[in-house]
Structure 1
Amino acid sequence: MAVPFSDETSLRWALLAFEFLIAFALIYNSQNQPFPRPSFRFGWLLVLLASLILIGQAAPRPMTVYAHLIMLSGVGGFGLVAGVYQLAQTQRDVLVAPYAGMLFCVGVVGLMVSTWDDLSKIEQWAGFLTIVVLGGGETWLIFRGLLIGKLPRAWSQAGMVALMQGRLTGKNGAIECFEKGWDADEEHLNPMAYVALHRIHTFLGQHEEAEIWKEYLEREGGESAVASEYIRAIHDALADLDSEAAQRLPQFTEEE
């Protein structure tokens, strides 16, 4: 009985299937991000590269597994650097880093395995330790990004963007974004989200919902816990949408 992926042809198809799987996972899950563009673009980049390799399979001399692994390492490394920046610095995306890390790990580990017999004992031990470090780092990225990844600040920013664009309801509308824009670890974001939700529901004439969010706001210290410039920006955005409906909003003064 043949061992799965023991020949180069089977391994090439397995790597292609892996790339398409990662690409479509990124594209599909990007819609659940406050800013879907980074993961969406990286997913389509992978689709493009995998499609080119797929077309090349019909050539007399298709891309070798070794070259394929080098490409995976390069693309994965690029995505890993960009993804970690998004995850740790801008906090706008939690998908690119772990998925790119998978590509990078498969590429690097595959290159090590393909040259394992040519390595000395010391190089093999160094390679083994590298694999352990890569596995630990990827495990952390999966837990940090995919399992417990929260982007309250990004959701709050996305809520303001949606508000400025007039998208108050629906998928990734201002209401949905602000409802995700609070966090127990970043308590300063909570009153900002609550005051925005109170104003939006008041603007829409949904007074029961507005009262609920007003109660939450009062628990966080009221409107005094929110910068007046932020409240002014919300009022101005809603007034630009409908000046008549904006008259339902409470009177705003700079002392708020």
Structure 2
Amino acid sequence: MAVPFSDEASLRWILIAFEFFIGLALVYNSKNQPFPRPSARFGWLVLMLATLVLIGQAAPKPMTIFAHFVMLSGLGGFGLVAGVYQLAQTQRDVLVAPYSGMMFCVGVVGLMVSTWDELSTAEQWAGFLTIVVLGGGETWLIFRGLLIGKLPRAWSQAGMVALMQGRLTGRNGAIECFEKGWDADEEHLNPMAYVALHRIHTFLDQDEEAQNWKTYLDREGGESAVAREYIQAIHDALTDLDSQAAERLPAIENKESE
């Protein structure tokens, strides 16, 4: 099948560079996610396939442009479904969906352009409308995921995981995760993050920081705004780390009876 591009060899290299860009962006930015595994795994998958295609360029018959677009459409479609699920349902990742959407758009639009001359007028109009819809959807994914994507619930969950593992400080430690685990739109998460930060800093004998977070907690209604079981889980995790340091923790307040 003839492809209406002036220089197919240059286009192949552009597509390979595009795939490496997507893979590297996913792997690099995954470390800024509360749960980096989904985007990192998908990024390495893209890099592996791009490397195989790159090696295949030395073959007598390298991968055709049409096959390249098919691969981008399939891989992008798979990542798009998985990414939207992570973005909307689990709220643990905001990277896979927009980056997969880029690959899907490039693949589908490339396939349309490759077969444009063979389409009827009605099919060309349908293809044009499809391109418009894809562009609008990808724009929404970029704004929703890359520009304004926030994962306060996931950061709070990651903070508890780090706390259970004994990682209190450092990159993606419990303190850093809980500091990102609040949101103006999900106010019920705020006291949960504040009480965790208050307890951790108290455990570390950092009285000034602990008092600051206690002030924030009181503004949100105090410990009565947080489930007792949640606070108890924090106490238990800190006690497992160092029972002597855990003696600094204050007693858990009982909720006021209604």
Q: What is the TM-score normalised by the length of structure 2?
A: 0.96
Number of positions where the alignment pairs a residue of Structure 1 with one of Structure 2: 252
What's the % identity of the aligned pairs?
Answer: 83
| Cα shift readout 1:121-176 (whole Å, capped 9, x = no counterpart) | 10000000000000000000000000000000000000000000000000000000
Q: Which amino acid counterpart does residue 144 of structure 1 have in structure 2?
A: R
CA–CA distance in 1 between the matches of 2:33 and 2:196? 20
CA–CA distance in 2 between the matches of 1:255 and 1:137? 46
CA–CA distance in 2 between the matches of 1:253 and 1:12? 65
Match of 2:155 in 1: 155
Match of 1:62 in 2: 62
Match of 2:129 in 1: 129
CA–CA distance in 1 between the matches of 2:143 and 2:70? 26
CA–CA distance in 1 between the matches of 2:53 and 2:70? 13
- Long gaps (5+) in structure 1: none
Alignment of 1:95-244 (within 5 A): 95-244=95-244
Q: Which amino acid counterpart does residue 208 of structure 1 have in structure 2?
A: E
The Cα of 1:8 is off from its aligned counterpart by 1.0
CA–CA distance in 2 between the matches of 1:225 and 1:252? 12
Q: RMSD in angstroms over aligned alpha carbons?
A: 1.0
Say whether the 8 Å CA contact 2:224–2:253 is kept in structure 1. Answer: no
Q: Which amino acid counterpart does residue 248 of structure 2 have in structure 1?
A: R
| Cα shift readout 1:185-239 (whole Å, capped 9, x = no counterpart) | 0000000000000000000000000000000000000000000000000000000
Match of 2:9 in 1: 9
The structure 1 segments of at least 4 consecutive aligned residues displaced by more than 6 Å after TM superposition are none
- Long gaps (5+) in structure 2: none
| Cα shift readout 1:13-61 (whole Å, capped 9, x = no counterpart) | 1000000001000000000000000000000000100001111111111
The Cα of 1:6 is off from its aligned counterpart by 2.6
Which secondary structure does the structure 2 equivalent of 1:107 belong to?
Answer: helix
Match of 1:47 in 2: 47
The Cα of 1:7 is off from its aligned counterpart by 1.2
The Cα of 1:254 is off from its aligned counterpart by 5.4
CA–CA distance in 1 between the matches of 2:194 and 2:253? 18
